[in-house]
Chain A
Amino acid sequence: MRIDRRWFALLVVAVFVLGMWGFRALGVWRPRTRRLPPAERLAPAPAAPGESGAFPM
C-alpha cells in the first residue's frame, strides 16, 4: 500500500505518542511528578544557619 508523505509524518508521531500512551495505559508507567502544595499550605522556609527568622531579608 502506497503511503503519502504527509500521512507518513503523522503516522510517525502518532505511533510514538500512542506507543508511550499504550505502555502507560498498561498501568505500569506513571510520570514521576512531585506536585508542590498550594502556597497557603506551604510552611515558611526553614531558617538558614545564622538567620534568626523565617523571613530572610
Chain B
Amino acid sequence: MRSRAWPLRVAVQTASVAWAAWIALNAAYLVAWADQTRTPPPALSALAGLFPFGPEAGSLSIEDYCPFGPLEGVVRAAQGLAAGRGLSFVGPVTLRNLGVLFAVAALVLLTKKTFCSWLCPFGALFEALGWIGRRLGVRQARLPGRWDRRLRRLRYAVLAVLVGLTGWAGYLVFKEVDPFFALYTVGSAAAPVGGYVVLAVLAAGALVVPGAWCHYLCPLGAALDPISRLGRIRITRADPACTRCDRCSRACPQRIPVARRQRVTDALCTNCLRCLDACDRGALELRLEVRP
C-alpha cells in the first residue's frame, strides 16, 4: 500500500503544538508556582531540562521562540545599525528569536514554506479547528478565486502595518492584541485580554473559513513568500503518468493549479503534500532540484 504523507504531517504538527504548550506551561505555571511556594521547580519542570532546546528548569517564555519578533522590529534594528549602536531589538525580542528566525529561513530556503504546514503550532491549531468544523457539519465557506487572490494580499498589508508601527513606536505595539501570545500565556498574569478577543474571532473564523488566518492574515507567512520561491525541494510532475484528472489542484489548500505545473515553484506552496496524497497514479513526486 502506498504511504501517505498526512499521518506524518499530523504527527509533526502534534509534536510542535505539544512543545509550544510545554514551554507555555513551564513559563506560566510551574515557575510561578515555584516562586510562590519558595521551593525549587517540581520534577516535571526539571525534566524539561532534558529537552535539547526546550525550557530548562527555570523560566522561559513562549516569546523566546517567536520567529516573527525580529521581523517586527526590523526598522528599529536598522536604525540601531545605521546609528552605530549595533544590533538592537524591540521589547522582549533578542538574539534567541533571531536564532529561531534563522532556522525558519534555512528551512524555507531548502523546503519552501514547510514551516507553515508542518511546524507552526498556530497554523496546526487552526487547521485542527477547520477539521473539527467539518466533523461538526459546519457549513464551510470557500471564497471565490478572485476574492481569495485579493484577500491574500492582506497579509502583506498586515506585515507592513506591524513592522511600520513597531518601528515608529519602538515597542511591540500589537502585543496586547497578539493572538499567539494570548494562546500561549493563557491563564497567566501576562495574558493580554485583547489577544483573547482576537483569538476568539480567529478561532470562530477557522471553523467557517478553513485556513483564514494562514491564507489572509499571517504576517510571517507573507514575509517568507520571497524566500519560499527559492526553495529547492519541490513537487514535480511526471508527465507520462499524469491523466490530468486535476485531483492534485483540488486538494491544494493554497489553490495552486498543481496539474498545470511541471514543477511547483509558487511562493504559496507549503509542501503539505496533500497533492501527492491525492494523486493515485503516482504522477507527482517530491524532488530536490539544485538548479533553478
State the A residues within 8 Å of B (CB).
1-6, 8-9, 11-13, 15-24, 28-39, 42, 44-45
Contact = CB atoms under 8 A, between A and B. Distances in A.
Interface in B72-109: 94-96, 98-100, 102-104, 106-107
B111 A36 contact: no
A31 B96 contact: yes
Contacts of B34: 36
5 contacts: A2-B285, A3-B233, A3-B285, A33-B56, A44-B38
Nearest to A15: B107
Given A5-B3, A24-B99, A33-B58, 18 more contacts: A2-B286, A3-B286, A9-B9, A12-B12, A13-B119, A18-B103, A19-B102, A19-B104, A20-B99, A20-B102, A22-B102, A22-B106, A28-B98, A29-B98, A32-B61, A35-B57, A37-B40, A38-B40
B99 A45 contact: no
A52 to B, nearest CB: 18
B114 A31 contact: no
Contact of B104 (A16, A29, A30, A34): A16
Contacts, number: 128
A42 B98 CA distance: 35
A34 B94 CA distance: 16
B63 to A, nearest CB: 10
A36 B56 CA distance: 11
A18 B233 CA distance: 18
Nearest to A35: B58
A18 B276 CA distance: 27
A5 B87 CA distance: 39
A13 B12 CA distance: 8
A32 B54 CA distance: 11
* Pairs A-B, 7 closest by C-beta atoms: A19-B103, A23-B99, A33-B58, A29-B99, A9-B8, A19-B106, A20-B103
Nearest to A9: B8
A2 B287 CA distance: 4
B69 to A, nearest CB: 13
